[in-house]
Structure 1
Amino acid sequence: MATNSFFNLFNPSLLPKYRGPSPIQWAILNGDRTTGITTTFLEEKMDSGNIILQKKIKIKENDTFGKLKRIIENEGCKLLMDTLNLVEKGNVKTIVQDDSLATYTKKITKKIATINWDSPSKKIHDQIRALSPTPGAQTSIKGKNLKIFISQIINRKSTLPPGSVVTCSPREGLFIATSDYLIRLFILQPQDRRKMKDIEFLRGYQVNRGDILK
């Protein structure tokens, strides 16, 4: 491979997995435990160039998109320097991507960002993590939009339907029923307001047990 070939700065995924936009968010959305970084030579077809270097990165249970993005950026800079050294020395041994293993992502839309409370708690928790801090997982209560940024799965069940407010105490927090366990909405943002903790939200908003999030 010629040393004057162009190469991608780095791709925040383990190519050929997650070609396309928002690969970090999709890794979290899909509940992956591992993601990574790839440097490649550029090709006309998106994210399809020969792989120069890759590094795996663990996704922790409560990592958000924002936190994981910072980790990937830091590690990506290191991998980029290693790639530059290899290219300068003419010591690059590339790996051809297997297109049969390729998966493709798409842009995050409002539909993707909207919480389906009939889903299991882990799927909802992963959705909230993947969309924090931007654009924020979306739901509504009493006709008002509500964005959720930090959540916690609570190993308790409820007889109330999914999406129901189970606990709404300024002392305990805001707990919502899902298709299996409860989920606590730690950090949220009411429509036209700033971000706040659930206990602060409950001091200023009238929320009752049995209210439904949609």
Structure 2
Amino acid sequence: MKLVFMGTPDFARTSLKKLIHSPHEVVAVVTVPDKPQGRGQKLKPSPVKQLAVDLGLPVLQPVKLRDPQFVEQLKQFNADAFVVVAFKILPPEVFNIPPKGTVNLHASLLPRYRGAAPINWAIINGETETGVTTILINERVDEGNMLLQKSVPIAPDMTAGELHDLLAEIGADVLVETLNRLEANDIVPVKQDEGQATRAPKITRKICHLNFNQTAQKVHNWIRGLSPYPAAYCYWQGKLLKIFRSRPVARLSDDVPPGTVVKVFKNGFTVKCASGAVDIFEVQVQGKKRMTVEDFLNGYRLQAGQLLE
């Protein structure tokens, strides 16, 4: 089939890479406009654009998806299907163009975790399983009829970053299989069960602020569910401290408030929670690089009894 691919981040780049080596032909790529980044505010292309340029594919970067000129450009490619991975919400005048429909790859077992951050919320909520789903896009975000689904286990210490990379690879394979079967008319779309639907809203700065007045397991899930980006954080001696790696431990004897550092050891430190505690192993002090706690302790005086707020 002839495809127009739409995506932006690394997660989408993995799918584009896989599609290039599939039986299908990617005739064009749609991504976001280049954005200013860094101190010099130089324009930087999205990961998907970088790959598309390397592959010599036509790239469209519309500011508005309803722009009549952009819509007309899409029609000129005569694609059999559009493929969407981690992109914007498409209007009907775009997703209704191709005869085979517009296929979206979503990083959850729909209808669970509809929304912008399914990987993060699956871990934050302590799920032991998640996966990927391909759907046909309709007017309601993440609510289209399902095509294929594949589940994967979530290991107890797996971070959002690690799960992201795993689902990107698995999702790319499921996407190719979906398109193969769609071309062969060997797939029956299935309506989502609204009774099973849950949400995965965008991660905000407020959500990233750690609350140690919870169980150790919940704090651990919060940390790994936001690692490596945007990262859970707290405050230590007035400095913002991001936390990337942790482990829940049973520690109930200390009669101190949640958030209190109760132990400092060579490569970590232990923080009291509402029940139990967490060992912390990797951090980033405001204005500094991410580092192991062992390196952190070489430059900062963290002591038992101090409070993480």
Contact 2:267 2:281 in 1 (8 A): no
Q: What is the one-letter code of the residue matched to 1:69?
A: H
The ranges of structure 1 where at least 4 consecutive aligned residues each deviate by more than 3 angstroms after the TM superposition are none
| Structure 1 residue 161 displacement after superposition | 1.5
Q: Which residue of 2 aligns with 1:118?
A: 213
Could you state the TM-score of these two structures normalised by the residue count of structure 1?
A: 0.94
| Separation (CA, whole Å) in 2 of partners of 1:26 and 1:131 | 9
Q: Which residue of 1 aligns with 2:166?
A: 71
Contact 2:104 2:137 in 1 (8 A): no
Contact 1:5 1:41 in 2 (8 A): no
Superposed counterparts of 1:80-119, under 5 Å: 80-119=175-214
Percent identity over the alignment? Answer: 37
| Separation (CA, whole Å) in 1 of partners of 2:227 and 2:172 | 23
| Separation (CA, whole Å) in 2 of partners of 1:55 and 1:203 | 45
Q: Which residue of 1 aligns with 2:255?
A: 159
Out of 140-149 and 177-186, give the one that drifted further. 177-186
Contact 2:131 2:149 in 1 (8 A): yes
Q: What is the one-letter code of the residue matched to 1:44?
A: E
Q: What is the one-letter code of the residue matched to 1:159?
A: D
Contact 2:121 2:200 in 1 (8 A): yes
Which structure's relative contact order is higher, taking Cα pairs within 8 Å and 6+ residues apart?
1
Match of 2:275 among 180, 193, 204: 180
| Structure 1 residue 172 displacement after superposition | 5.3
| Separation (CA, whole Å) in 2 of partners of 1:64 and 1:8 | 28
Match of 1:153, SS? strand
Contact 2:216 2:278 in 1 (8 A): yes
Which structure's CA Rg is the greater one?
2
| Separation (CA, whole Å) in 2 of partners of 1:59 and 1:32 | 7
Q: Deviations over 1:25-81 (max 9, x none)?
A: 010111111111100111011011111110111111011011000110100011011
Q: Which residue of 2 aligns with 1:140?
A: 235
Structure 1 residues 43, 172: closer, same or farther in 2, change over 3 A?
Answer: closer
| Separation (CA, whole Å) in 1 of partners of 2:110 and 2:151 | 11
Q: Deviations over 1:180-212 (max 9, x none)?
A: 112111000011111111122122112221111
Unmatched 5+ stretches in structure 1:
none
Match of 2:264 among 156, 168, 171: 168
Match of 1:10, SS? strand
Could you state the TM-score of these two structures normalised by the residue count of structure 2?
A: 0.66
Match of 2:264, SS? strand
